[in-house]
C-alpha cells in the first residue's frame, strides 16, 4: 500500500513490527514497531489501518493507537472483514491480488471467531499463514476508542472511514 500512496504524491510513514517487511519500502519513512504500542510525537491528517488487523484480538489497542495519531479533523481509513464476509467465507474462498492467487483452507468457526489458513500462490511458489479473526459490532468498538463512523469507502463495505467526534 505504501508505494501506490507515494506514487500519488502522499507522504507516508510506514509502520510494521517486521524489519524484514520494512526493508522492502522505498521512498517513505519507516518505523519498526508494533502498531498497538506506537507513540509517535506527531499526528497525521490520515491514518490507514489495513490488512483487516481490526478483526484481530488487539482491535481496541489498534484503534486507540490510530486515534492517538490522528490530527484534529483527521480521517482514519480501516480495512476489515465485514459481517457478511463471515457468513460467506468457506474453504476455497479467495481471489486474486495482482499476480498472487489467494485461497482459504481449513476454515473453522467458533461463535464470532473464525480461524483459517490463507494460501498465497505466485507461479510455482506457495506460502501459507494461519489466522484467527473475529466478527464484531463496528459502532461500539469505534465508540470505545473515541471514534465515530464516517462512511463506507468501498461498495463491498470492506473499507470504512472513521473520525474523532471533535472532527467537526
pTM of the predicted model as reported, rounded to 2 decimal places: 0.89
Query: 167: Cβ–Cβ under 8 A, 6 or more apart, which residues?
Result: 72, 73, 74, 75
DSSP letter, residue 158: S
The pLDDT, as a whole number, for residue 166 is 72
What does the CA dihedral 139, 145, 146, 150 come to, rounded to 10 degrees?
-40
pLDDT tier at 80, thresholds 50, 70, 90: very high
The pLDDT, as a whole number, for residue 120 is 96
Reported as a single tens digit per residue, the pLDDT across 102-161 is 999 999 999 999 999 999 999 999 999 999 999 999 999 999 999 999 999 999 999 999
Tell me the residue ranges of DSSP E strands in the chain. Answer: 13-16, 29-32, 44-49, 70-79, 94-97, 100-110, 113-122, 125-134, 148-152, 159-163
Q: 71 pLDDT exceeds 60?
A: yes
The pLDDT, as a whole number, for residue 70 is 95
DSSP letter, residue 98: T
Cα 115 → chain centroid: 17
Phi first, then psi, for residue 122 (nearest 5°) are -135, 110
pLDDT tier at 63, thresholds 50, 70, 90: very high
Q: 167 pLDDT exceeds 60?
A: no
Give bridge partners of residue 110 from the DSSP assignment: 113
Residues composing the chain: 168
Q: What is the CATH number of domain 34-81+135-167?
A: 3.40.50.150
Is there a contact between 75 and 46 (Cβ–Cβ < 8 Å)? Answer: yes
Reported as a single tens digit per residue, the pLDDT across 18-57 is 999 999 999 999 999 999 999 999 999 999 999 899 999 9
Amino acid at each position: 500500500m505504501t508505494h501506490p500512496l507515494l506514487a500519488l504524491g502522499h507522504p507516508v510513514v510506514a509502520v510494521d513490527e517486521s524489519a524484514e517487511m520494512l526493508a522492502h519500502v522505498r521512498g517513505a519513512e519507516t518505523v519498526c514497531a508494533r502498531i498497538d504500542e506506537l507513540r509517535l510525537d506527531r499526528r497525521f491528517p490520515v491514518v490507514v489501518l489495513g490488512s483487516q488487523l481490526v478483526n484481530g484480538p488487539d482491535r481496541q489497542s489498534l484503534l486507540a493507537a490510530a486515534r492517538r495519531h490522528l490530527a484534529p479533523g483527521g480521517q482514519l481509513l480501516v480495512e476489515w472483514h465485514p459481517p457478511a464476509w463471515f457468513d460467506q467465507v468457506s474453504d476455497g474462498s479467495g481471489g486474486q491480488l495482482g499476480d498472487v492467487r489467494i485461497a482459504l483452507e481449513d476454515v473453522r468457526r467458533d461463535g464470532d471467531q473464525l480461524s483459517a489458513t490463507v494460501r498465497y500462490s505466485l507461479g510455482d511458489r506457495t506460502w501459507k499463514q494461519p489466522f484467527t479473526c473475529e466478527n464484531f459490532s463496528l459502532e461500539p468498538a469505534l465508540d470505545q476508542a473515541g471514534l465515530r463512523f464516517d462512511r463506507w469507502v468501498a461498495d463491498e463495505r470492506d473499507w470504512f472511514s472513521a473520525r474523532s467526534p471533535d472532527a467537526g
